[in-house]
Structure 1
């Protein structure tokens, strides 16, 4: 049976947007399914190619491990996220996709066996990708002191997605087996068909739109950067109208995580404050909520008003994450709860960002979100997106800035990614770049993204990172070398300049380093050769140590002593150093 024609059209659009990825149609459908579910159904903002398992892993096509909404594909990334803040919420999303016209009992059974295996004895799953993910998995569980991570399993097809009685019984049996592990907060096993994938893909690529009834509103004073703004209160059902997505195949509506700045992933159901608020509401004290709660602030790119009905487009709930989550648990009482609301319409991204910071001062806001406001970041975004062909990089200063399907997903880079690669390339800290998020941020906060810095150098470093990941996905270099990524980027710069001050070096020096690095990065064969040379040297040093497992090796090369040993032995005086 031919693939559903609408899914086929969406798949073709997805393929055109990612022309550098050498995948078969079935591989592309696997990645597109992950993208549709993660960014559409679950409202995340992730690169689906990093979730996809490239190879012939038993029964599973993708594994997304998320901490506070940040995708973690290895122990370094998980540790980096876990080092900042507290009350971390983790989740596991498992994927299997088939271009078939119906759900297959055997394939689903195989998929759920693979899921169970990932969390138990690993008799079915193996390989570098799986080992890296196991490292991230263990980090998540080690931090799950207050709440267990959730597990969601998605089996996707291009057919109807209709679940037979036999498959329902199979899912129930596997659900019970997974539940018996006693390690998950909740477990969901969902089968998705062509119509579900279609709708999820549309949601993933369209800006958010909602219509709310807001009769109790007062117009706020005029401001140069604001088209219109209102303050007042609404029925909590209107908050949920903005916060919940469309009904899925089972009639459920999930929270659209992408519309939250201080994201819904940060909601902690076990906090004493949240439990107290929920307890009061469940006890029947509904009328007091509007007096005790600070309410929510919504910023929209455009507001269209017709009477008391406000249609908002491309909006975010920039303050009110906890409130919205609590209300979502009381949907049956929504009509009896009032919520304070500020609704602001502005198309000025910098002013919107200032509103976000102002309304979140009492909360822990990530430093890289503040960095997005810096004048340099705006210049860098323009410079990187204006490069031609293979040199183009997209700097995502605002969450979900690039939702359009025509955008090549793997070229999108967040400020936090730039911080890591800058630590390796500019400050010569490859051993800390991947994991020491808090330390790097604190030490170099006043030395990064400065107005007088060179956009060319930052673009160079970002491109080196993108091309490294691309060569891994394209199987031009062994995935086992991925662990060396930041050492590779460090060595690219270090061989042309021997000091961690390239950002402040003379113009001619900066131009020379930029030219040398770009000549290597833009020549795939040359870059592959360089990566293999550096990796071989790292392997030689590791082989003389007691590190044997992948995690032991990862920990070993993150030490200061290894960095010193690598630098002194690889950059022989007068041979490689500039």
Structure 2
């Protein structure tokens, strides 16, 4: 049986949007499935190529480990997130995808064996990528103080997805086996067919759209950066209309995390305040809610009004995460609960960012959001997106900024990624770049992303990171070299500029370094040779240290003494 024609068309679109990636249809369907589920069904915002297992791992095509919604592929990335804040929530999403017309009992059994193996003996799963993911796994479990991480397992096919009685029994027996480990908060094992993938892919590539009834509204005063804005109150079922996604294959609607600035995982159902509010609602005191709650603020790029019906597109709930989570737990009463609402229509990204910061002053605002407000970041975004062909990079100043744009997902760079490459390439701190980039940000806060800085240099650093990851994904360099990434970027600049002040150098000197480094980055053979030279040198230093396991090696090269030793020995004349 041929692949479902709609899935085939979507797969073609996905391949065209990621034309620089390599692989056959089955490889791309594996990545597309991860993208559709994560960014469509679950409303996350991740690069699916980073969650894809590039190889012949036993029964599993992808593993997405996330903390607070941020994908972690190794221990360093996990620790970087865990170093800030507390009460972190982690999750594990496991994937297997087949371009087949039906579900196969043996393949599903093998998939679930692989899942069980990842969390137990590791007798079936091998390789550097698995070893790195195990490091992230262990950090998630160690940080599970508030609640155990959730586990979701997705077996995807291009067929009908109909589940036989035998497969149902297989799933239940494996659920029991996984539950017996006593490490998960919840366990979902789902089989998705062509229709599920179709709908999920559409959701992942379309901007958010909702129509709500808002009769109790008043127009807000004019503002240069706002097309239209309203304040008033709505019934809670209208809030859920904005906040919940489409029904999944089990007929359930979940909160669409993609529309929240204030991450939905930050909701703490065990807090005394939230328990008290929920208790009042469950006890029948519905009329008091509107007087005690600050309500929600919604920012939309487009508002279309017809009478009291407002259709909003490409919107975010920038304040009201806690409120929405509480209301989602009492859907049967939602029509009788009133909620204060501010609805703001603006297409100005900088003003939207200011609204987000202003409405979240009582909450911790992510450093990324402050960076998004800097004039330099806007200039950098324009410069990077305007580069031709292989040099193009997309700076994501706002979450899901490129959600409905058909572009290569791996080229999207977040401000926090830029901070990491800046730490290595500009501040010459490769040993701290992966784990301590927030510490570096604090140390160099007045020396980063300044208006007179060179957009060319930041683009160069971002492109070097993208090309490194590209060479790994396409197996041009071994995956074992990933651990050396930031030393590779450091050496790339350090060989042409000897001190950690390139950002303040004379424009002619900056241009000379930029030209030399870009010549290497844009030549895959030259860049590969550079990566191999640096990695070979690092391997010699590691061999002399006695470090054996990947964890020991990772800890060793993150020390300041190793960084000093590498610099002295690699750059000696």
Query: SS where residue 44 of structure 1 aligns?
Result: coil
Once the two structures are overlaid, the 10-residue window that deviates more, 431-440 or 128-137, is 431-440
- Structure 1: runs of 5 or more not aligned: none
Query: SS where residue 182 of structure 1 aligns?
Result: coil
Once the two structures are overlaid, the 10-residue window that deviates more, 199-208 or 219-228, is 219-228
Q: Is the 8 A contact 2:423 2:437 kept in 1?
A: no
Structure 1 residues 346-400: Cα deviation after superposition (integer angstroms, max 9, x where no partner): 1111111111110011101111221011110000011001111100000111111
Q: Which residue of 1 aligns with 2:245?
A: 245
**Residues in 1 aligned to 2:109 and 2:283: alpha-carbon distance in whole angstroms:** 43
Cα gap change, 1:161 to 1:181, in 2 (>3 Å): same
Structure 1 residues 120-146: Cα deviation after superposition (integer angstroms, max 9, x where no partner): 111111100000000001111111111
**Residues in 1 aligned to 2:276 and 2:83: alpha-carbon distance in whole angstroms:** 28
The yes-or-no answer on 1:75 pairing with 2:68 is: no
Q: Which residue of 1 aligns with 2:533?
A: 533
**Residues in 2 aligned to 1:96 and 1:277: alpha-carbon distance in whole angstroms:** 41
Q: Which residue of 2 aligns with 1:4?
A: 4
Q: Which residue of 1 aligns with 2:367?
A: 367
Query: SS where residue 66 of structure 2 aligns?
Result: strand
Once the two structures are overlaid, the 10-residue window that deviates more, 190-199 or 325-334, is 325-334
Q: Which residue of 1 aligns with 2:204?
A: 204
Q: Which residue of 2 aligns with 1:351?
A: 351
Q: Which residue of 1 aligns with 2:316?
A: 316
Q: Which residue of 2 aligns with 1:570?
A: 570
**Residues in 2 aligned to 1:58 and 1:279: alpha-carbon distance in whole angstroms:** 47
The yes-or-no answer on 1:156 pairing with 2:159 is: no
Q: Is the 8 A contact 1:17 1:406 kept in 2?
A: yes
The yes-or-no answer on 1:95 pairing with 2:89 is: no
The yes-or-no answer on 1:186 pairing with 2:218 is: no
Q: Is the 8 A contact 2:77 2:434 kept in 1?
A: yes
**Residues in 1 aligned to 2:182 and 2:536: alpha-carbon distance in whole angstroms:** 42
Once the two structures are overlaid, the 10-residue window that deviates more, 372-381 or 399-408, is 399-408
**Residues in 2 aligned to 1:499 and 1:333: alpha-carbon distance in whole angstroms:** 64
Q: Which residue of 2 aligns with 1:419?
A: 419
Q: Which residue of 1 aligns with 2:14?
A: 14
Q: Is the 8 A contact 2:368 2:397 kept in 1?
A: no
Deviation at 1:322, TM superposition (A): 1.1
**Residues in 1 aligned to 2:12 and 2:561: alpha-carbon distance in whole angstroms:** 49
Deviation at 1:545, TM superposition (A): 1.5
Q: Which residue of 2 aligns with 1:257?
A: 257
Normalization by structure 2: what TM-score?
Answer: 0.99
**Residues in 1 aligned to 2:530 and 2:268: alpha-carbon distance in whole angstroms:** 45
Q: Which residue of 1 aligns with 2:222?
A: 222
The yes-or-no answer on 1:307 pairing with 2:307 is: yes
Q: Is the 8 A contact 1:67 1:81 kept in 2?
A: yes
- Structure 2: runs of 5 or more not aligned: none
Q: Which residue of 2 aligns with 1:270?
A: 270
**Residues in 1 aligned to 2:274 and 2:540: alpha-carbon distance in whole angstroms:** 52
Q: Which residue of 2 aligns with 1:448?
A: 448
**Residues in 2 aligned to 1:441 and 1:271: alpha-carbon distance in whole angstroms:** 31
Deviation at 1:321, TM superposition (A): 0.7
Q: Which residue of 2 aligns with 1:50?
A: 50
Query: SS where residue 229 of structure 1 aligns?
Result: strand
Q: Which residue of 1 aligns with 2:341?
A: 341
**Residues in 2 aligned to 1:258 and 1:243: alpha-carbon distance in whole angstroms:** 9
Query: SS where residue 226 of structure 2 aligns?
Result: coil
Q: Which residue of 1 aligns with 2:393?
A: 393
Query: SS where residue 305 of structure 2 aligns?
Result: strand
Q: Which residue of 2 aligns with 1:112?
A: 112
Residue-pair matches, total: 573
Normalization by structure 1: what TM-score?
Answer: 0.98
**Residues in 1 aligned to 2:280 and 2:557: alpha-carbon distance in whole angstroms:** 51
Query: SS where residue 3 of structure 1 aligns?
Result: coil
Deviation at 1:405, TM superposition (A): 5.0
The yes-or-no answer on 1:234 pairing with 2:243 is: no
**Residues in 1 aligned to 2:106 and 2:270: alpha-carbon distance in whole angstroms:** 39
Q: Which residue of 2 aligns with 1:329?
A: 329
Q: Which residue of 1 aligns with 2:295?
A: 295
Q: Which residue of 2 aligns with 1:129?
A: 129
Query: SS where residue 217 of structure 1 aligns?
Result: strand
Deviation at 1:86, TM superposition (A): 1.4
Across the aligned residues of Structure 1 and Structure 2, the Cα RMSD in angstroms comes to: 1.0
The yes-or-no answer on 1:408 pairing with 2:408 is: yes
